[in-house]
């Protein structure tokens, strides 16, 4: 038997079809332009997608559908980051197609997580409970249906067209069509652009997480979404910054993301259980409702310490100076900055200091009218 590859799946032999792949992170040179970074990120996302197709089509490992979803999310995040450099019509079309793909892959991943991370520990702890076994059978039926949907999407012409379009768009620098100012702006260094983009996303994370201790589940889910954007951006541009500064910040993000992810899994599980029970009647519904209550109750019990862990993970993250800012360049981010006291009535406000010549950040290119060029859609 061959040794596992770097992503945990055999590389050769009869099990090669089971191979799944993680993303290969961009390796950007310090001199790389923002345009070169965009092309490398998109092409890497396409390779990530293609590398997991067979795993999904053969249903040989549950990691395949997960990795395909991650690839699509990273691509969507990239387009959102580069929004002002991409013609609106192109970005909207590509984002819409990827939203479709996420929707087709999502249910299979939700059921995988439910079976492996929500249901399995309960069955392991609650022995000889036939109602849990009955629930597990129903869950597997739903899971099979979800995988059939995901496999149909990956085998569809619409998916093939999207993959080919993304590849040709990045190779041919399709975003160059249209506004000259936009084209000039994307030729600056990736480091300059990444610094500004990371600042923006970090601020969005802090705003979403303001008053973290008092946020409800839905609000913390929004923090998790913003945090994913910051993590993806970090992975896109990581090689432009010293590893000793990036790694601790990335670990703090992963820790908080993991903590919030567990809570989100349980919330998703509640919705899935309602769906299972809703399709039953009579005594079967009574039995499955009891089993669903066991699952939710068990996780509520073991999740008692999760609140403290989430708050601690949040504090660990916001206490760190962003890695893209040099030491002393900016104060550590705070979730709820205190507003300044208004000046006395007899005292005029102090004018804001003007940055010395040559030190100000380059201004964003102005928003151009909706361009007439379009992405050529495959027939």
Judge if 111 and 194 occupy the same domain. no
Domains in the chain, number: 2
Cβ–Cβ < 8 Å for 340, 351:
no
| Residues 6 or more apart whose Cβ sits within 8 Å of residue 87 | 175, 177, 178, 179, 182, 371, 373
Residue whose C-alpha is closest to residue 164's, from 172, 64, 106: 172
Closest CA to 153 of 110, 100, 112, 200: 100
Same structural domain, 177 and 211 = no
Domain interval for residue 139: 32-188
Burial degree of 331 (CB within 10 A; 0-12, 13-18, 19+) = exposed
pTM of the model: 0.80
The pLDDT profile of the chain, 379 residues, written as one tens digit per residue, is 333 334 544 444 445 556 899 999 899 999 999 999 999 999 999 999 999 999 999 999 999 999 999 999 999 999 999 999 999 999 999 999 999 999 999 999 999 999 999 999 999 888 789 999 999 999 999 999 999 999 999 999 999 999 999 999 999 999 998 788 888 999 999 999 999 999 999 999 999 999 999 999 899 999 999 999 999 999 999 999 999 999 999 999 999 999 998 888 888 999 999 999 998 899 999 999 999 999 998 888 877 678 889 999 999 999 999 999 864 444 344 444 444 444 444 444 444 433 333 334 444 444 444 444 444 444 4
Regarding whether 78 and 113 lie in a shared domain, the answer is: yes
3-class secondary-structure state, position 33 = strand
* 236/178 same-domain check: no
Domain termination site, one of 134, 160, 188: 188
Let me know whether 212 and 316 are in one domain.
yes
What are residue 4's phi and psi, to 5 degrees? -60, 145
CATH number at residue 295: 1.40.20.10
Pick from 188, 206, 227: which residue ends a domain?
A: 188
Within-domain flag for 318? yes
Same domain, yes or no: 113 and 253 = no
| Boundary of a domain, candidates 188, 213, 230 | 188
Q: Tell me: do 183 and 71 sit in the same domain.
A: yes
The string of DSSP codes covering 38-49 is: HHHHHHHHHHHH
3-state DSSP assignment of residue 189: strand
């Amino acid at each position: 038997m061959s040794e596992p590859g770097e992503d945990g799946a055999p590389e050769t032999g009869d099990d090669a079809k089971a191979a799944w792949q993680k993303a290969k992170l961009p390796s950007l040179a310090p001199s790389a332009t923002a345009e070169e970074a965009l092309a490398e990120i998109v092409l890497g996302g396409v390779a990530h997608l293609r590398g997991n197709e067979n795993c999904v089509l053969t249903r040989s490992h549950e990691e395949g559908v997960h990795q395909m979803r991650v690839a699509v999310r990273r691509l969507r995040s990239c387009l959102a980051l580069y929004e002002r450099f991409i013609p609106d019509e192109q970005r909207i079309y590509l984002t819409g197609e990827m939203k479709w793909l996420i929707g087709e892959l999502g249910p299979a991943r939700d059921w995988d997580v439910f079976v492996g991370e929500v249901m399995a520990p309960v069955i392991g702890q609650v022995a000889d409970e036939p109602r849990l076994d009955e629930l597990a059978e129903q869950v597997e039926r739903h899971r099979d249906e979800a995988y059939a949907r995901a496999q149909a999407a990956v085998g569809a012409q619409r998916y093939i067209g999207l993959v080919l379009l993304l590849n040709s768009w990045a190779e041919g620098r399709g975003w160059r069509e249209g506004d000259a100012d936009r084209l000039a702006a994307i030729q600056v260094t990736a480091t300059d652009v990444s610094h500004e983009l990371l600042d923006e996303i970090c601020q969005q994370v802090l705003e979403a997480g303001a008053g973290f201790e008092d946020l409800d589940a839905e609000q913390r889910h929004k923090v998790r979404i913003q945090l994913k954007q910051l993590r993806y951006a970090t992975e896109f541009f990581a090689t432009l910054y010293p590893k000793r500064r990036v790694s601790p910040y990335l670990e703090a993000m992963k820790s908080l993301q993991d903590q919030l992810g567990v809570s989100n899994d349980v919330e998703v599980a509640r919705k899935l259980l309602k769906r299972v029970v809703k399709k039953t009647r009579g005594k079967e519904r009574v039995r499955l409702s009891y089993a669903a209550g066991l699952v939710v109750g068990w996780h509520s019990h073991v999740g008692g310490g999760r609140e403290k862990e989430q708050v601690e993970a949040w504090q660990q993250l916001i206490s760190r100076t962003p890695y893209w800012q040099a030491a002393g360049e900016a104060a550590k981010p705070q979730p709820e900055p205190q507003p300044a006291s208004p000046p006395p009535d007899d005292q005029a406000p102090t004018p804001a200091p003007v940055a010395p010549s040559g030190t100000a950040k380059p201004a964003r290119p102005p928003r151009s009218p909706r361009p007439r060029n379009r992405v050529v859609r495959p027939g």
